[in-house]
Structure 1
Amino acid sequence: MHTSHTPHKTRQFWPWAALWLFASLLLGGAAHASRIKEVAEVEGVRSNQLTGFGLVVGLDGTGDQTTQMPYTSQGITNYLKQLGITLPAAAVAQLQLKNVAAVLVTAQLPAFARPGQTIDVNVSSMGNSKSLKGGMLISTPLKGADGEVYALAQGNLIVAGAGAAAGGSKVQINHLSSGRIPSGAQVERTVPTPLLEGNSINLGLEASDFQTARRVAQAINKRFGEGSARALDGRTVKVNAPLDSDARVSFIAEMEELSLESSIPSAKVVINSRTGSIVLNGAVTLGACAIAHGNLSVSITTTPVISQPNPLSTGGQTVVAEKSNIQIRQEPGMLIQLPASTQLSDVVRALNALGATPQDLLAILQAIKAAGALNAELEVI
């Protein structure tokens, strides 16, 4: 009993110890002033998603099975046509491209990227290829949402995995159906940005908060003069900027380094129902409440029962049946009173006193919120 009891306590202690440590770091970081560049971004300065269909060649027999993946043979046929090689229909139907795999290529085109610059690309198998290790991506156009080609990708894949199979046994480390090509695409087209248009720029806050928007406008007005910035809403701040490109870049660089007065964030509890993770920020408070927590377990055991005919009977058969035994056990739940807590450390200590697992706390926190004793926004991800 002692051996099984000790690990049970350990499993309960460490999640809340980690939570308490995270909360202490969160509270400790609240004293440091943040900069504008950490809470807002200039509107229009953004990256763009690129994607394209490509082929990976040079695989060691681990490519797609073309009988089940017709777009692989169609893709290689179209590529050969571009090179001036036309295959008859009968030859296309008999293609066995075990060294070729159809893939989707994705990349992010950063802001202000110019033709000739290189970007990283990700390559993912879209067929039944066993592995992309050792393959090379042939020239693949990458298109944006408007259908225009903005980059061309090509190069050898880096696959951070390994695997082997023989005699029905298989061993695999990491993922073999996706890889990456550093600097694998070359930019061919520039995406225009509205950074130099008009006599003002807009700052978009990372999170909608009127207090933060007011503080950003106040910091800019204090440094560059009254009327330089004004908050349009809880997420947008309009800032007057110089018209000259060099002066505007210098203005934005200096503006992004301005410090903001630290503010208390809105109280929030984030719950991950899939992993049982619970994160509380420093503004969470707890009202006085009483909680009864108990466990209900249902145990079902099955025992095989063999029924044999009598020794002198004729035509009888031995029959194997199953006998099920169902037990329901409910542990007594104690009514625990939680005092009102105004600090995060007190909230963690009060919840830890329940002795509940993180999975049980998911339901307990929702019940406390429904009862009006949890002064925080509850977000389930």
Structure 2
Amino acid sequence: MTGAALALSVAFTLLTLPHPASALSRIKDIAEFEGVRENQLVGYGLVVGLDGTGDDVKKKSPFTRESLIGMLERLGVKVNQANADLETKNVAAVMVTATLPAFSRQGAEIDVTVSSLGDASSLQGGTLLATPMLGADGEIYAVGQGQITIGGFKAQGEAETIVRGVPTSGRITRGGIVEREVPFALSQLQMIKVALRNPDFTTARRIADAINEFVGGGTAYAMDPGTVQLSLSNYAGDPTALLTDIEQLPIVPDQQARVVIDENTGVVVIGQNVRISKVAIAQGNLTIRITETPQVSQPSPFSNTGVTTVVPRTNIDVEEDADRQLAILEDSVTLEELVAGLNSLGVGPRDLISILQSIKSAGALQADIMVQ
């Protein structure tokens, strides 16, 4: 019996194994509430205090030069741009990013990330100057400033350079101060929506049924696969109390039968509901091995006519399994059981991918295959 046929036989024996019960998930883990969201902020600033690892403001980073001159003039230092010969290497232009948490109030502190924009080799030891951080609407929501902490370093000599991590990117813990709040009146809402992270009709219906069973009929209904509408009438307009009560409700989320294949790494991810229809499978083992062992031919000693040449030597081996057989895979065999049987025999990820794709082409794999 071939390896593939034996693997399929092992898969059949796994049919009697018990299946684990579906895992329960909280509503807060599979869905998000309307308005409870983060916002992205971005800004452009300068980092000073670098130990000669900043931008080349004279040749390679003219925008750093212009920013430095503009900053000095705003601070009352007059710079003659025509005659200014700035050659400082302790300044770097950076992009500053941060995430504004939901319902952040003025004066709250947030973490910011600083990334080099020019040709600076390291931000170690640098200090970010006050940098306004804007939202998608162009308004300033926070200001970032502080000492940068980086997780990498760069050591360079004449013959060798060692780089660990990314020395041109760092972080300032609690380096941003919220200056503007995102307007959102949660307490004034009469209706609120629950957005599913993985839209699905069955999951949305289960969420609505669980909420109605806990709170009362008519409180929730599924608008579409990704949205459940909630009414706050039973909670006298108190959305915080409602969300607190329902976010802990257990739900069994449904999922689409899907197989995800990463061709680059050979990773195969299989969904729980994947099934295989009745199909016959045979795996051929044809191996062609070509080995090159060139040899050097030299003339006899003291020869005046011979030359040294490389003589090619090629060895070709062909191995073919002539005892191939078809194996019948019955209905309702799960892909998990098939894979377990193949893995027990040492079938590699590449062969597994080929087998799955062939079963899908034959129409026997009841799932979607996503190749990345």
Structures share fold, TM-score greater than 0.5: yes
Superposed CA offset, 1:95-137 (max 9, x none): 2231112211111111101110011111111222211111111
CA contact (8 A) 1:298 1:328 kept: yes
1:219 to 203, 210, 213: 210
What corresponds to 1:358 in structure 2? 349
Partner of 1:146: 137
TM-score w.r.t. length of structure 1: 0.80
1:332 aligns with 2:320: yes
Q: Is the 8 A contact 1:205 1:236 kept in 2?
A: yes
Q: Hey, what's the Cα distance between the residues in 2 that align with 1:87 and 1:39? A: 57
CA distance in 2, matches of 1:101, 1:148: 25
CA distance in 2, matches of 1:69, 1:324: 55
Shift of 1:194: 5.4
User: Which residue type is aligned with residue 215 of structure 2?
Assistant: F
Q: Which SS does the other structure have where 1:141 is aligned?
A: strand
CA shift for structure 1 position 225: 1.2
Equivalent in the alignment of 1:70: 62
Q: TM-score, normalised by structure 2?
A: 0.82
Report the 3-state secondary structure (helix = DSSP H, G, I; strand = E; otherwise coil) of the residue aligned with 1:292.
coil
Partner in structure 1 of residue 32 of structure 2:
41
Distance 1:36 1:78, change over 3 A: same
Greater displacement, 154-163 / 336-345:
336-345
Residues 349 and 81 from structure 1, CA distance in 2 versus in 1: closer, same or farther, beyond 3 angstroms?
Answer: same
Instruction: Identify which of 88, 102, 106 aligns with 1:115.
Output: 106
Aligned to 1:173: 164
Aligned to 2:340, what secondary structure does the other structure show?
helix
1:131 alignment partner in structure 2: 122
Question: What is the 5 A alignment of 1:192-207?
Answer: 192-193=183-184, 195-207=186-198
Which of 77, 81, 87 lines up with 2:73 in the alignment?
A: 81
CA deviation map 1:198-243 (0-9, x unaligned): 4111111111111111111111111111111111111111110149
Given the superposition, is the C-alpha separation of residues 80 and 329 from structure 1 closer, same or farther in structure 2, using an over 3 Å criterion?
Answer: farther
Q: 1:306 to 1:123 in 2, by over 3 A?
A: farther
Task: String of CA shifts for 1:64-101, please: whole Å, max 9, x gaps.
Answer: 22211211112212211221223212344x32231112
Letter of the 2:41 counterpart: L
Q: Which secondary structure state, in structure 1, belongs to the residue aligned with residue 104 of structure 2? A: coil
CA contact under 8 A between 1:154 and 1:185: conserved in structure 2? yes
Contact 1:114 1:190 in 2 (8 A): yes
Looking at structure 2, the residues matched to 356 and 335 of structure 1 have their Cα atoms a distance apart, in angstroms, of: 17
Tell me how far 1:154 sits from its aligned partner. Answer: 0.7
Give the Cα separation in 1 of the matches to 2:291 and 2:68: 57
Asked which structure has the greater RCO (Cα within 8 Å, sep 6+), the reply is 2
For residues 303 and 327 of structure 1, what CA distance do their matches in structure 2 show?
10
Matched positions, count: 348
Give RMSD over aligned pairs: 3.1
Query: What is residue 222 of structure 2 aligned with on the other side?
Result: 231
- Kept after mapping to 1: 8 A contact 2:149/2:172: yes
Partner deviation per Cα, 1:37-70 (whole Å, 9 max, x = no partner): 1121112221111111122111111112221121
- Tell me the amino acid that sits aligned with residue 216 of structure 1: I
Residue 380, structure 1, aligned to residue 368, structure 2: no
Distance 2:156 2:24 in 1: 55
Q: Which runs of 5+ in 2 are unaligned?
A: 1-16
Deviation at 1:311, TM superposition (A): 7.6
Q: How does 1:281-320 map to 2 (within 5 A)?
A: 281-287=271-277, 288-294=279-285, 299=290, 301=292
Which amino acid counterpart does residue 87 of structure 1 have in structure 2? V
**Hey, which of these two has a bigger chunk of helix by percent?**
1
- Aligned CA distance change for structure 1 residues 335 and 114 (closer, same or farther; 3 Å): farther
Residue deviations 1:351-376 (CA, integer Å, cap 9, x gap): 33674422343333222211122222
C-alpha distance in 2 between matches for 1:332 and 1:106: 59
Sort the Cα spacing of 1:165 and 1:252 in 2 relative to 1 into closer, same or farther, 3 A. same
Instruction: Give the Cα–Cα distance (whole angstroms) in 2 for the partners of residues 139 and 278 of structure 1.
Output: 47
Q: Which moved more, 1:150-159 or 1:236-245?
A: 236-245
Would you say the 8 A contact 1:59–1:134 is kept in 2? Answer: yes
| Partner in structure 2 of residue 53 of structure 1 | 44
Alpha carbons 1:208, 1:234 under 8 Å: kept: yes
The percentage of aligned residue pairs carrying the same residue is: 40
**What secondary structure, in the 3-state scheme, does the structure 1 residue paired with 2:161 have?**
strand
Counterparts of 1:142 and 1:285, CA distance in 2: 51
Tell me, in whole angstroms, the C-alpha distance in 2 between the residues paired with 1:344 and 1:366: 12
Distance 1:291 1:355 in 2: 17
Provide the secondary structure at the position in 2 that maps to 1:68: coil
> Given the alignment of the two structures, is residue 90 of structure 1 paired with residue 74 of structure 2, yes or no?
no
Give the secondary structure class of the aligned counterpart of 2:155.
Answer: strand
Question: For residues 270 and 84 of structure 1, do their structure 2 counterparts lie closer, same or farther at Cα, with a shift above 3 Å needed?
Answer: same
Aligned equivalent of 1:279: 269
Partner of 1:368: 359
Tell me the alpha carbon deviations over residues 254-289 of structure 1, each in whole angstroms, 9 at most, x when there is no partner.
1111222x2553222122222221111322223333
**Matched residues in 1 for 2:225 and 2:297: separation?**
73
